[in-house]
A = this chain, B = another copy of it.
Amino acid sequence: MFQQIKTMFSKSCEYAIKAMIFVAQKSKEEQRVGIKEIAKGTDAPEHFMAKIMQDLSRRKLIHSAKGPNGGFYMDASDLKNSIADIVKAIDGDTIYKDCVLGLKECSEKNPCPVHFEFKEIKKNLIKMIENNTLAAFNEKLDSGKFFLRNK
């Protein structure tokens, strides 16, 4: 079988997380960031990223302004959003409820064979994405220690 890529999140979600971190950093100095700059800065296809930004905007995870000097930006409360909030907005909350084997009725009382094995993993994953807010990233991300582009 030749699936090249199978990552934890969808491509859209990967782009969304990158974009949010990118804009978060620029938002420190009250800058608005245009879609072209976001696409370049995250190495994502511009028009595809535009769609994702629309989604994020519609879901109130980010602010936007049309017209000259317009673009995307974040206020203090936007920076409180976590990776989990972004994932929920783009990929939905299936990561919270869905069985790893895709079973609809999988539960504590009616578990699939791998249910209990994955329970802890998922708990840690969820805790992590909930605890990591954009504000927290902003503190960590200082000059050249991390990167968002595909080199």
Question: What is A's interface to B at a CB cutoff of 8 Å?
Answer: 1, 3-14, 17-18, 21, 52, 55, 83, 89-92, 94-95, 98-105, 110-115, 117-118, 120-121, 124-125, 128, 132, 137, 140-141, 145-148, 150-151
Contact = CB atoms under 8 A, between A and B. Distances in A.
Number of copies: 2
A11 to B, nearest CB: 7
B112 A55 contact: no
A52 B147 CA distance: 38
B115 A11 contact: no
Q: Is the interface of A mostly helix, strand, loop or mixed?
A: loop
Nearest to A24: B113
Which 7 residue pairs of A and B lie closest in terms of their CB atoms, listed nearest first? A6-B91, A105-B151, A14-B102, A113-B146, A14-B101, A1-B55, A121-B125
A94 B1 CA distance: 13
Contacts of A148: 101, 103, 112-113
Contact of A3 (B91, B105, B132, B150): B91
A6 B102 contact: no
A6 B55 contact: no
A150 B140 CA distance: 44
A55 to B, nearest CB: 5
Contact of A137 (B89, B100, B113): B113
